[in-house]
Amino acid sequence: MEEIVEYNNLIIEKTEGIAIVTINRPKVLNALNIETISEIRQAFFSFRDDDSVKAVIVTGAGEKAFCAGADIDEIKDLNSLKAMDFAHNGQCAMNSIDKLKKPVIAAVNGFALGGGCEVSLACHMRIASKNAKMGLPEVSLGLIPGYGGTQRLARLVGKGKAIELVLSGKMVDAEEACKIGLINSVVEQEDLMEAAKKLAKSIMKQGPVATRLALESISRGLEVTLDQGLAIEAKMFGLVCGTEDKIEGTTAFLEKRKPELKNQ
């Protein structure tokens, strides 16, 4: 059964265990204003305890833009103190995406610039259509990325490439974005949502406790030293080995049959 939830700037469709979040401001290329940022945070907080949601896909309304960035009208008159609060508010919204213990896929369907690129970076995986263009052009406006771009981009593509992209402010097309590891794959625009759903469904077929703990192990491990990350992995491995899914999965493997996971 499909459920559609509408905010002022988002449309959320829940179907087959997948929540599809569409940034819905097509007249301004889905630019992020303060209200949209707040709605993103609210939506992702709601997904945390919603057992009907197994995976999330984020995309933009229309065929031109995933999200063209932050609303510059809300930035131009900020003083330093208010700008710090502005950035912190956006970072909290991006963290609500990044920290969700369910897989989040960005379906990048056009321009993903500035804050829009930062939304995609906060997602766990990214699939782009061939017309997609991505970048962090803030320096051309006398700014720097403020919603986590300087941090997440470097962790994804490496320090050198991140410095090049941020300091030059240049856009990259979908093919180049894929080559540098900014996105996972490129598809035709008409195939984008189906590809994102296919990826989500392939993950949803696995043991949900195992996928949640694996996701947490990877995400937390990137924030600490290797030794600390290995300790996190060992802890997660121990936790997953205490589940019924682990018993059923390993038994089914040895008995050469498909497991019947109970999601426990």
Catalytic residues: 118, 138
Distances (CA, A) of 185 to 129, 152, 211: 9, 18, 21
- Cα separation, 119 vs 53, in Å, equals 20
Q: Is 255 left (phi over 0), alpha (psi -120 to 50) or beta?
A: alpha
Note whether 40 and 59 are within 8 A (CB): no
- Cα separation, 154 vs 214, in Å, equals 22
DSSP bridge pairs for 106: 58, 126
Tokens 């802890």 belong to residue: 235
CA 34 to chain centre: 19
**Residue 52: what residue type?**
S
- Cα separation, 262 vs 244, in Å, equals 7
